Amino acid sequence: MPKILMITTSADRMTPGDEPTGLWLEELTTPYYAFRDAGAEVTIASMAGGPVPIDARSVGPAGQNDASVERYLSDAALKADVAATPPFTVLDADSYDALFLPGGHGTMFDYPASEALARLVERFDRSGKVVAAVCHGPAGLVSALQPDGTPFVAGRRVTAFTDSEERAVGLDRAVPFLLEGRLRELGALHESAPDFAPFAVRDGMLVTGQNPASAARTAALVMEALGKGPA
């Protein structure tokens, strides 16, 4: 069965302010369990290593969360993994079949600035492996390049948290850029569903999802791309 590397944000603040942020938990837990339940081996790493900052807005009281988050809350092993991640740069990336970037607003502050992440995205892509991201996770694609030096997303069908969704949650002025707009500027063929509706796109081995509600569909398309799901 395939091996999947999930890399989360390590940013816990929306700089230069002090608004707390981090990983949107459902965007890790929903695909994680989908992959594991399908028999895949999953490694969780992060940008800087150590505990993954979890956006408090993505976790409610027990019994009031998405099913995957509820499962996480009683999963001691996964919670331990999330509390002590390795930095992705110490792992042997060549041993994995797919790269998955969960979102959360934290990604807007550390994914785009990471040359190491951009090079990893390029490496997976040029090896014919799956590159996937959901919601704000596509922030990890904006600095990557195609072999000819053009933006990685240019001419490719993608989706991500939309500019109208960002305005709807009131964080359009807190992020360094609007993700949909940046992807379009880079030449991406951005597609979307109505705000907050589930939507995901597969363009070859590139898979992207629009928002937290899209995590399950994104995971399903990843398994499809790996040859482990319905075509």
Per cent of the chain over pLDDT 90 is 97
Q: How confident is the prediction for the chain on average, in pLDDT?
A: 97
Domain 3-225 has CATH 3.40.50.880: yes
Collect all residues with Cβ–Cβ distance below 8 Å to 52 and sequence separation of at least 6. 8, 9, 10, 22, 23, 28, 44, 46, 82, 83, 85
Q: What is the pLDDT of residues 143-190, one digit of tens each?
A: 999 999 999 999 999 999 999 999 999 999 999 999 999 999 999 999
Q: Residue 231 has what pLDDT?
A: 54
Q: What is the pLDDT of residues 78-132, one digit of tens each?
A: 999 999 999 999 999 999 999 999 999 999 999 999 999 999 999 999 999 999 9
Q: What is the pTM of this model?
A: 0.97
Collect all residues with Cβ–Cβ distance below 8 Å to 74 and sequence separation of at least 6. none
Instruction: 86-91: list long-range contacts, CB under 8 Å, 24+ apart.
Output: 86/45, 86/46, 86/49, 87/45, 87/46, 87/47, 87/48, 87/49, 88/5, 88/7, 88/45, 88/46, 88/47, 88/116, 88/117, 88/120, 89/116, 90/49, 91/5, 91/43, 91/45
Q: What's 158's DSSP letter?
A: E
Domain ranges, ordered by start, for the chain: 3-225
Q: What is the pLDDT of residues 214-227, one digit of tens each?
A: 999 999 999 999 99
**Contact (CB, 8 A) for 99 and 132:** yes
Four-residue CA torsion sign, 188, 194, 196, 201: negative
Residue 206 and residue 58: Cα distance in Å, rounded?
A: 26
Q: Residue 99 has what pLDDT?
A: 98
Residue 223 and residue 229: Cα distance in Å, rounded?
A: 5
User: How do the residues of the chain divide into helix, strand and coil, expressed in percent and rounded to 5?
Assistant: 35, 20, 45
Q: What is the pLDDT of residues 123-132, one digit of tens each?
A: 999 999 999 9
31: pLDDT strictly greater than 80: yes
Catalytic residues: 135-136, 166
> What are the C-alpha distances in Å from 141 to residues 65, 72, 97, 169, 209?
29, 27, 17, 23, 13
